[in-house]
Every structure is written in structure tokens, then in C-alpha cells.
């Protein structure tokens, strides 16, 4: 069977080859179609308008991890200092500013671990939703945790407002 020149890749968490690609905007179909002009079923088109919150362009059908292809998904961070360096901030307060930009103005709180503790955990909270990661972990797991946190918190807020409970996000 003819294949496209686009490689499916492997999951940085579970090493599965069941990766789905999401193409944003108006794509160049040249490298996406096979010699018969067909698109692989694992390529999804998202359209030109991306919704609020963090975005991703890959996910694993096996374990559910979501990440951005250019994010250094396989890079392992071993300490809080390393993660701060990777996201380009120097202080804990800058982390909160960075998170607010990533989550479109949503307020998050982070339990800041010791800078160089390779056994530490980090907890990110948004409203009543939280995600916990234990060092060491891959950058793709950090990114996926933020995406999951934003989506779950948004869903809870939406469900609360639809039910008339007036739940506040933060």
C-alpha cells in the first residue's frame, strides 16, 4: 500500500506507533498524501481557528499523551531548576506568569519543589482540578498535564454554569 512521506512517529511515553497527527490551518497536502492521493487515517485536520487554551498537534492512541511536535517531547527533566530552564524562566513567580500565558489568563497555582531535588513532585492546580508529576519526567508529560488540566477545568466550569451552580474557575 502506498504511504505518505509524513512519518507517524512514536510516543515519548509508551513508545507506541499509534500516533495521531493534527494539522492546523490550511495545509500543504504535498507531503501528506500517498502516491494515490489519499490521506492516512491518522492525520486529522483541525481547521484554521484553534480554540482557547494550550494546543497540541500529536496524541497517542495507546496511552493518551498529548504534545506539540517541536517541543522536545523526549527530553527528560530531572529537577525543578531544569524544568524552569526549559520553559525559559528564572524565578517561581515567572512560572506563574508563564502558566497564565499558556492557559490564556487562567490562574494556576504550583507547589514549588526544591530546585535540585530529583525525587520531588510538582502539583499544578486550576480551580478544583490538579495534576501531579514526579521528577524525572519528559517534557511531553508536562505539556500533556497542562492541556489536560485546562480542558478538565474548563469542562467543570462549563458543566457548573450549565447546571446553574455558578462554579468559579479559580
DSSP string, 5-52: SS-----TTT--S-EEEEEESS--GGGTS-TTSPPPTTEEEEES---S
pLDDT confidence band for 3 (50 / 70 / 90): very low
More confidently predicted of 69 and 3:
69
What is the rounded CA–CA span in Å between residue 57 and residue 66? 8
Asked whether 66 and 56 are in contact (CB, 8 A), the reply is yes
What digits encode the pLDDT tens for the residues 24-77?
A: 666 666 666 677 777 766 766 665 656 555 578 889 999 999 888 877 788 999
With b meaning 16 or more CB within 10 Å and e meaning fewer, what string describes 153-170? bbebbeebeeeeeeeeee
Residue 147 has a pLDDT of 85
With b meaning 16 or more CB within 10 Å and e meaning fewer, what string describes 58-78? bbbeeeebbbbeebebeeebe
Report the pLDDT averaged over residues 123-146: 88
What is the rounded CA–CA span in Å between residue 126 and residue 146? 10
Q: Specify the pTM.
A: 0.68
What digits encode the pLDDT tens for the residues 67-116?
A: 888 777 889 999 999 999 998 999 988 988 888 877 766 667 788 899 99
Other beta carbons within 10 angstroms of residue 124's beta carbon come to 20
Residue 32 has a pLDDT of 64
More confidently predicted of 170 and 78:
78
Amino acid at each position: 500500500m502506498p504511504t505518505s512521506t509524513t512519518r507517524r512517529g512514536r510516543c515519548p511515553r509508551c513508545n507506541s506507533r499509534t500516533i495521531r497527527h493534527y494539522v492546523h490551518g490550511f495545509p500543504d497536502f504535498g507531503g501528506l498524501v500517498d502516491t494515490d492521493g489519499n490521506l492516512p487515517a491518522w492525520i486529522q485536520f483541525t481547521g484554521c481557528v484553534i480554540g482557547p487554551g494550550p494546543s497540541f498537534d500529536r496524541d497517542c492512541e495507546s496511552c493518551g499523551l498529548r504534545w506539540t511536535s517541536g517541543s522536545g517531547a523526549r527530553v527528560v527533566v530531572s529537577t525543578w531548576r531544569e524544568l524552569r530552564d526549559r520553559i525559559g524562566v528564572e524565578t517561581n513567580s515567572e512560572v506563574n506568569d508563564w502558566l497564565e500565558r499558556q492557559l490564556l489568563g487562567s490562574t494556576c497555582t504550583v507547589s514549588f519543589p526544591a530546585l535540585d531535588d530529583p525525587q520531588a513532585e510538582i502539583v499544578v492546580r486550576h480551580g478544583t482540578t490538579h495534576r501531579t508529576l514526579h521528577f524525572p519526567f519528559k517534557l511531553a508529560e508536562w505539556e500533556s498535564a497542562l492541556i489536560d488540566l485546562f480542558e478538565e477545568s474548563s469542562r467543570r466550569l462549563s458543566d457548573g454554569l450549565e447546571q446553574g451552580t455558578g462554579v468559579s474557575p479559580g
